[in-house]
Structure 1
Amino acid sequence: MFSGSIVAIVTPMTDSGQLDLEALRQLVDWHVEEGTSGIVVMGTTGESGTVTEKEYFAAIDAVVKQAAGRIQVIAGSGAMSTNKTITLTNQAKELGVDGALVVTPYYCKPSQQGLYEHFKAVASHCELPIILYNVPGRTAVDLLPETVAKLTELENIVGIKEATGDVSRVTELNRLIETPISILSGDDATAYDFMKLGGHGVISVTANVAPGLMSKMCQLAQAENWKQAALINDKLSGLNDKLFLEANPIPVKWALYRMNKIGCGIRLPLTELDSRFHSQVVTALEQANVELS
């Protein structure tokens, strides 16, 4: 249901830190033009943890309306509590999104049984197609393939964003899962290898700054044209590395600012990219032939 290059879109902000919805709308149009398959709004890269609930829904609404059916829109709607996750997912549905990206509950470190019951409750109380989101580096809990396989028996669990960076997870998931789902990489640096082993695409940070290249790489991989896909992946390799010199989305927001796509605003506790990393990010952008202002 979801495949190809799906951008985990940033949330543009003014210098004073206010949401810049007009810049967000322009980014949506750019991604449509560049061939991006889908947009995740209000995910980790979108600074969902730093915005108010009013801002959260305003950003989703702006993306859905600007997309106007031209591109799939997925809302990040995971929270630490099951009840809040259900509420956010259902409210996102009312705004017209095509699916929900639901991260594992963070900080509270539930067991595998707790994770299963959490996602089962969300799936049973929400009608949206749900993409599970496993990112143990941020949440301190790992949604194991055996648990994912059980969850895919539920009708509206349609995919997983696997952000461990462990490409062997693709093989394990495909071995265990009986009902086909979208298996998506959440790690740009290993996305090519992930797809080569049977993944269906990537929810990408790098696509924020090089949407055309990332889309083309995914299209070639889907066509099993691995040689040409590898050439593009090589061009993206610098970005896949340097956009994580500091915590995401710090470097990617600075890169977009340097490209004159957004303002320099970012919300505390995140701060602007340290100046000692600027030249490395610029070099990576130039390697990918990204036009700078």
Structure 2
Amino acid sequence: MSLFIGSGVAIVTPFKENGDINLDKLEELLIWHIQNNTDAIIICGTTGEGSTLTDNEKKELIKTTVEIVNKKIPIIAGVGTNNTKKSLELSKFSKEVGADGLLVITPYYNKTSKNGLFEHFKTINDQVDLPIMAYNVPSRTGMNISPEMLFELSKLKNITSIKEASGNLSQAILYRKLCPNIDLYSGNDDQIVPFMSIGGKGTVTVLGNILPRIVHDITHEYINGNVKKSLDLQLKYLNFINSLFIETNPIPIKTALNLIGKNVGNFRLPLVEIDPNNLDKLKNEMKNINLL
């Protein structure tokens, strides 16, 4: 059974002016997503600035999200770090508080060998009985999950899916060929329809933070056989999608949310406010799709 089908939003982490997490704003966002057909929430991921959150903050975010959503849609907890012991602790906690799945990124900075990568996932797989979505984003981690490695990981009972954000569609096709039992999710908003065309179950989306109903529709129109409508939506918002990655994610998406009045706060260093020239480009694309 798939963790979810459709649009899983990698939700931003809202901050107060003093830099603390804004749980009231998080609740507001979660309710809004449920009302706008978001199919799952991914908390404490890259878009949620997970690498700058303390362990206690991550636990608070995961627990709070589970409680607020209250099983209306699945919650996938971002527990991946470059420290297997820490990832395991967060995974166990997520299981205890009722998360539906785990998002586990490949170890970054220290990286590891092929054997080390396998053991990292196997350790969590063997000790926490929750579905695991492997997260492949080599541009950030310096590590790639090759199709052959995914095949090995697919032998582990809890590795059920992969968020593929390498941008390499040829690799994604090989995933599907070698690992038909692994659910495939697009990790890039400009590739949702191509991923669906090779059997993908949906997307883990940044775009869905601000256009939740649109991303839901892109995926579900495809699922329902309305391929042209799905593609038309993908292409209609393509320029805006590209503008959301004009700087390091989540700088543009949080900026865009603030521009439409969602008031999700600033960023944690080393992330800073968007460059003025890029801000103008972002605003122009938002105007083009009537967001401003």
Cα distance between partner residues in 2 of 1:58 and 1:31:
19
Check whether the contact 1:162–1:184 (CA below 8 A) recurs between aligned residues. Answer: yes
Check whether the contact 1:3–1:184 (CA below 8 A) recurs between aligned residues. Answer: no
> Counterpart in 2 of 1:51?
53
Would you say 1:281 and 2:282 are equivalent positions? yes
Alpha-carbon distance, 1:113 to partner: 1.9
Q: Secondary structure at the match of 1:276?
A: helix
> Once the two structures are superposed, what CA deviation does each residue of 1:188-240 show, in whole Å capped at 9, x if it has no partner?
11222121122111100111011110100010122232110011112221221
Unpaired runs of 5+ in structure 1?
none
Would you say 1:232 and 2:233 are equivalent positions? yes
Alpha-carbon distance, 1:285 to partner: 2.3
Check whether the contact 1:188–1:202 (CA below 8 A) recurs between aligned residues. Answer: yes
Match of 1:142 among 134, 144, 148: 144
Alpha-carbon distance, 1:55 to partner: 1.3
> Counterpart in 2 of 1:215?
216
Match of 1:162 among 151, 161, 164: 164
State the AA in 2 paired with 1:151: L
Task: Give the TM-score normalised by structure 2.
Answer: 0.96
Taking only the aligned residue pairs, the percentage that are identical comes to 38
> Once the two structures are superposed, what CA deviation does each residue of 1:156-195 show, in whole Å capped at 9, x if it has no partner?
11100010011122321111115x2210011111222121
Counting only pairs closer than 5 Å after superposition, residues 1-293 of structure 1 correspond to structure 2 as 1=2, 2-178=4-180, 180-290=181-291, 292=292
Check whether the contact 1:264–1:272 (CA below 8 A) recurs between aligned residues. Answer: no
State the AA in 2 paired with 1:284: E
Cα distance between partner residues in 2 of 1:118 and 1:263:
33
Check whether the contact 1:195–1:221 (CA below 8 A) recurs between aligned residues. Answer: yes
Q: Secondary structure at the match of 1:246?
A: coil
Aligned residues: 290
Task: Give the TM-score normalised by structure 1.
Answer: 0.95
Unpaired runs of 5+ in structure 2?
none
Q: Secondary structure at the match of 2:116?
A: helix
Q: Secondary structure at the match of 2:237?
A: helix
Q: Secondary structure at the match of 1:102?
A: strand
Q: Secondary structure at the match of 2:41?
A: strand
Cα distance between partner residues in 2 of 1:20 and 1:208:
16
Cα distance between partner residues in 2 of 1:206 and 1:33:
16
Alpha-carbon distance, 1:289 to partner: 3.5
Cα distance between partner residues in 1 of 2:185 and 2:289:
23
RMSD, aligned α-carbons: 1.3
Check whether the contact 1:163–1:185 (CA below 8 A) recurs between aligned residues. Answer: yes
